[in-house]
Amino acid sequence: MTFAPESAIVLGNKNDLPMIYEDMKQQFPPCELYPYPKLLQLLNSNRYKILLYRRLSDNELIGYAFVYTIADSNVLWLDYLAVLKKHHGCGYGSALFRALWQKYCGPFDGILFSVEYVSETDPLLAEQQKKRIRFYEKLGAHRLHAKFLQPCDDGGFPMYLYFKPRCGYITISRSVQMLSITQMYEYCFFYLKHRKELLPQFKDTIVDEKFTEG
């Protein structure tokens, strides 16, 4: 792995979406993607943002993230995080995640996000998914007990729920998780009528979480 040159996060807008969405279609499973018009609607709001990760030396786009601010909570929901394919293997992934965390670890208690389950039928895919999980855990994210369901057109599919706390913050309560998931369902998946049916299916698995620092 080569050293990632210094880069920084800047706020993007809907004009950046066409190019980035093409990259998203290559890097995320179709079931995890919002339809383009719905994602565009989200970016027209003030609580859902696209963040661009640009190299300082030449302003080249290295990666991006989509985040949603949970109202009445000190938690940020990370919806997507990716480094452009041509920059894979250069250390930018961890640098982007750290930059995102550093940007928000002051006003927020942590970042909440979901990660794919490990495939039991596709060994190559399973190895990629395990690598992604190791990536987040190495960066200090903790897997929660919630049997989270990601909304999709035909229902919901299971995803691991992870939380990256700010320094010194070693808990996330059940109530905060419930609030975050409820709001994210309503705000980000407003176009899916069955979204309200998902949380009752796994809410009993959501518990107060406490972590060990380090």
In eight-state DSSP terms, residue 85 is: G
pLDDT digits (tens, 9 = 90+) for 165-210: 987 788 999 999 999 999 999 999 999 999 999 999 999 999 999 9
pTM recorded for the entire structure:
0.92
Q: From CA 68, how far away is CA 204, in angstroms rounded?
A: 24
Q: Is the pLDDT of residue 2 over 50?
A: no
- 105-161 pLDDT, tens digit per residue, is 777 889 999 999 999 999 998 998 999 999 999 999 999 999 999 999 989 999 999
Length of the chain measured in residues: 214
Domains parsed from the chain with CATH numbers: 7-210 (3.40.630.30)
DSSP 8-state assignment for residue 163 = E
Instruction: Compute, in degrees rounded to 10, the torsion defined by CA atoms 67, 175, 33, 130.
Output: 90
